[in-house]
Amino acid sequence: MSDAGTIALRLALSHPGFALDVDLCLPGRGITALFGVSGSGKTTLLRAVAGLERAATGRIAVGDEVWQDSAQRLFVPAHRRPLGMVFQDAALFPHLTVRDNLAFGLRRVGGTADAVARAPVTGLLGIGHLLERRPGTLSGGEQQRVAIARALLAQPRLLLMDEPLAALDEQRKAEFLPWLEKLHDELEIPVLYVSHALPEVVRLADHLVLLQAGRALASGPLGELLPRLDLPLSHGEDAFVVLAATVGDYDARYALLRLDIDGQSLWAPGPPRPPGSPVRVRIQARDVSLAISPQHDSSILNSLAARVEAVEAQPPGRALVRLDIGGAALLARLTLKSLDQLHLGPGAAVYARIKSVALID
């Protein structure tokens, strides 16, 4: 499996009551999440990429391979596109063993059932002990792991995943997400991941496409879109940012990790991790307070030097403040009274005080 280069999608499609119209250039590695409310066009876009929406016009190119170009009357049918698909329903063959289900994917590249156990993806997804079982004896999470393995064994240029966790209960989701994170770290091919659940997106995605009514409101790295005040992601009660951090140290006495971010540090609860390990930090706007001077007589451990970039009033009587903490963006939700008392505006130097318990890997 090799890097697919950039993914260029320029697509238009009209159905009664709905129209899709997007023009996107997506990264050729990592996970790109297609995110939006129901009816925003996520699955329709994914189906068009797969070649399952023949009415869609435009151009699809994955690296140097063009799968569709309406201007040139080119349309590669779905079965000839080198892609893998994973749906809400694992769609495994119930009468076949896991081994034979996986062999179905291998046949696309000339493999046989004998090679299933030796395939790296079998170990990567931890399904080697399931090979002789039938799908009906597996949990929902195990079935989805088999479905992903089957898709990857076909050596696709692109992996499409349509709400793969939607059919799982919360416990199964919690068990399954680490496997997806492992794939994120190990896969070289790009993944288009459809979801309407922001917690999944935050844990998995590198790049985000925000869809609304069939159009892309924004497309870019996850960490850049979450703090944008002009997007609905920052308007909800649970507005937050995700920062990339590195483990600097571990305080065993207090069971706290020191996380280094752009030359500054945060303390967060968690188990020991090797120094230098990358980690994502989720910080909610409501868990950030602002001060104009450093304060050390507080139960709040974390204080980061910051500068106000922008302020947006949000009724009733509140404001959302976007902060620069040395290259990364942070959000803070304040009352308008606090904003006025501190005389805060763009360019003001402040200290962002963050509760340790608000830091979520």
Q: How confident is the model at residue 3, as a pLDDT?
A: 44
Query: What's the gap between Cα 280 and its chain centre?
Result: 12
Q: How confident is the model at residue 165, as a pLDDT?
A: 87
Measured distance CA(67)–CA(99) in Å, rounded: 31
Q: Given a cut of 90, is residue 360 above it in pLDDT? A: no
**Whether the Cβ atoms of residue 87 and residue 162 lie closer than 8 Å to each other:** yes
pLDDT tens profile 236-281: 888 999 999 999 999 999 999 999 998 899 999 989 999 999 988 9
Residue 325 main-chain phi, psi, to 5 deg: -110, 35
Bridge partners (DSSP) of residue 353 are: 289, 303
Bridge pairing between strands 191-195 and 57-62? unpaired
pLDDT tens profile 305-333: 999 999 999 888 999 999 999 889 999 99
- SS3 labels along the chain: CCCCCCEEEEEEEEECCEEEEEEEEECCCCEEEEECCCCCCHHHHHHHHHCCCCCCEEEEEECCEEEEEHHHCEECCHHHCCEEEECCCCCCCCCCCHHHHHHHHHHHHCCCHHHCCCCHHHHHCCCHHHCCCCHHHCCHHHHHHHHHHHHHHCCCCEEEEECCCCCCCHHHHHHHHHHHHHHHHHCCCCEEEEECCHHHHHHHCCEEEEEECCEEEEEEEHHHHCCCCCCHHHCCCCCEEEEEEEEEEEECCCCEEEEEECCEEEEEECCCCCCCCEEEEEEEHHHEEEECCCCCCCCCCEEEEEEEEEEEEECCCEEEEEEECCCCEEEEEEEHHHHHHCCCCCCCEEEEEECHHHCEC
Q: Peptide bond before 316: cis, by omega within 30 degrees of 0?
A: yes
Q: How confident is the model at residue 227, as a pLDDT?
A: 95
Q: Given a cut of 80, is residue 296 above it in pLDDT? A: no
Instruction: List the domains of the chain with CATH numbers.
Output: 7-227 (3.40.50.300), 240-246+276-358 (2.40.50.100)
Neighbouring C-alpha atoms within 13 Å toward the C-beta of 19: 2
Residue corresponding to tokens 């997804």: 125
Residue corresponding to tokens 């009664």: 16
Q: Does 110 or 353 have the greater pLDDT score? A: 353
Q: How confident is the model at residue 179 (pLDDT cuts 50, 70, 90)?
A: confident
pTM, to two decimals = 0.89
Q: How confident is the model at residue 2, as a pLDDT?
A: 40
Instruction: Give me the chain's average pLDDT, please.
Output: 90
Of 205-209, 234-238, 260-264, 333-337, the least confident? 234-238
Bridge pairing between strands 318-324 and 302-314? antiparallel
Q: How confident is the model at residue 109 (pLDDT cuts 50, 70, 90)?
A: low
The answer for 327, left when phi > 0, alpha when psi is -120 to 50, beta otherwise, is left
Q: Given a cut of 90, is residue 14 above it in pLDDT? A: yes
Q: Given a cut of 50, is residue 140 above it in pLDDT? A: yes
Of 118-122, 159-163, 206-210, 289-293, the least confident? 118-122
**Whether the Cβ atoms of residue 361 and residue 245 lie closer than 8 Å to each other:** no
Q: For residues 283-288, give the mean pLDDT.
A: 93
Q: How confident is the model at residue 177, as a pLDDT?
A: 86
